[in-house]
Amino acid sequence: MNRIDQTFSKLKREGRKGLVGYLTAGDPNLAASERNIRAAIDAGLDVLELGVPFSDPTADGPTIQEAAQRALAAGTTLADVLGMVSRLRRDYADIPIVLFGYANPFYRYGFDRIAEDAARAGADGLLVVDMPFEESEELRAPLVKHGLCFILLVAPTTPPGRAAAILAGAQGFVYYIMVTGVTGARESVVSDLAAQIGALRQVTGLPIAVGFGVSNGAQARDAATTADAVVVGSALVRAAHEGRAGAFVRELRDGLSGRSPAA
């Protein structure tokens, strides 16, 4: 069983909500990035989304765009990211690691090659934010061959019929984008999230993780009320840049557990 499936099964048994955290590999450099990632894992991440830096991250807001630029300026490559996965896997046997990126770097590396090398490094899946579902089979097939999940995104604007088609063969978990637009912290969680999640559960039995906008423990608690997990990206990237990745993950964990951050 894939580590993603194992983790969500464990969360369900324990009656807990999952915390999926995104950090850009190589921001501001490989060594500092790995320290921040380890601090976040040690503080309580359930799933790591490891961002592959790209020069034109069109789905991302300023915080993650700037993180990608810092990583690229430091010379971070996809091979470097895979090396980091290997090092993390040696010390963290159970945490799922999902490579989060854009199609171009994976295409240039080679879809068959990235599937094989990512699996060998210890990754558990890929999430390719700008790859249309209709064009994904060329990457999906080698991922499945090597036991990796192809994580799919669904948005509020996705019609129910299309959502059903997209998720018919989905694996791991569903990343539900709570709002339209680019990534970035927001003031509050959308008011109709429960209805959105309820509709999505009509077309998939996979765990649902919600993201795009969660920026503190209270919002994490609210977002997880009807979802199985929350995804935190921009706010965690900002916290890591300020040297407080671990502290921020603990705040999020407290929120998900219904505890006061000061407790």
Catalytic residues: 49, 60
Place of tokens 């807990």: 16
Longest dimension (CA), the chain: 49
Q: Which residues, in sequence order, are CB contacts of 106 under 8 Å at separation 6+?
A: 52, 78, 114, 126, 128, 139
For residue 112, the 8-state DSSP code is: H
Burial profile 195-209: b = 16 or more Cβ within 10 angstroms, e = fewer: ebbeebeebbebbbb
Find out whether 87 and 37 touch, Cβ atoms under 8 Å: no
- Please tell me the distance from the alpha carbon of residue 5 to that of residue 11, in angstroms, as a whole number: 10
Q: Which secondary structure element, helix H or strand E, spans residue 176, and what is its range? A: strand 174-177
- Please tell me the distance from the alpha carbon of residue 46 to that of residue 232, in angstroms, as a whole number: 12
> What are residue 231's phi and psi, to 5 degrees?
-110, 130
Strands 149-154 and 174-177: parallel
Go through the chain and tell me how many residues it has: 263
- Token pair listed for 66: 């700037």
